[in-house]
A = this chain, B = another copy of it.
């Protein structure tokens, strides 16, 4: 969807998903820290969150696919037009394919929590594949576009492929908070960069960007780094905020709000012991 909205919608999705991952991973981290040996299963609240996350992913992917197919100028589920002997709206089909893989990742997330026979890490593996497919399709998307257009989409590949590598690494390295927050930050960066692409290619106000000018390429490269700094800041603040809420909640009354059941002592101890442990 070649307009500002077409970039703002996935941008909003990725921004929120990044924030959500930061919240989820911080909560999980504190639950693990406060966990005593006898309780191995995650609390009900954390499990429910996974269902909701997977459900929302599937729903968003489904809506995205439907919109790409059935917008006014969409392909309406036609792939090949025999009358003109040409493919119909391949860009919409490619976007649908991207959404499909995020839908699969959401499904894997739900299935991994519903049945307990599925295997550890299948949710991260499918997420890694979804990001790889997104980057893979974008990479071959860029053919014969003007320099600035190609460049801002190339920069998008940085958080996409880094996120894919990060999620793949999480299949092997479990429960590493810093790695998990880094993934959250990469999603946030991807989201905010989608907005930036929208602003560059389809400015809502102000002058149109010269897509051939090398100085614009140089500026966007630098601007991407500023987005990265902001993403790191936002994820960091989110993490500290959630940590502070958890600490207050578990300090005041046990088992309320986030169902953590850990006593105030063990939770505080966990926070203090954090940097000492290996």
Check B101 against A229 for contact (C-beta < 8 Å): yes
Q: How far is the CA of A85 from the CA of B207 in the complex (A)?
A: 10
| Chain B residues with CB under 8 A of A277 | 120
Query: How long is the Cα–Cα vector from A217 to B144 in the complex, in angstroms?
Result: 13
Q: Secondary structure at chain A's binding surface: helix, strand, loop or mixed?
A: helix
A112 to chain B, nearest CB (A): 7
A145: Cβ under 8 A from any B Cβ: no
In the complex, whether A249 has a CB less than 8 A from a CB of chain B is: no
A173 CB–B CB distance under 8 Å:
yes
| Contact residues in B for A117 (Cβ distance below 8 Å) | 243, 271-272, 274-275
Residues of B within 8 Å of A174, CB to CB, are 278
A41 proximal to B (CB < 8 A): yes
Q: Which residue of B lies closest to A124 (CB)?
A: B178
| A86 proximal to B (CB < 8 A) | yes
Closest residue of chain B to A217, judged by CB?
A: B140
Asked whether A215 lies within 8 Å of B172 as measured between CB atoms, the reply is no
6 residue pairs bridging A and B, Cβ less than 8 Å apart:
A97-B225, A117-B274, A120-B277, A133-B225, A140-B218, A140-B221
Q: Which residues of A contact B (CB under 8 A)?
A: 40-41, 85-87, 90, 93-94, 97, 100-101, 104, 112, 116-122, 125-126, 129, 133, 136-137, 140, 143-144, 158, 171-174, 176-179, 182, 207, 214-219, 221-222, 225-226, 228-229, 232, 243, 271-272, 274-278
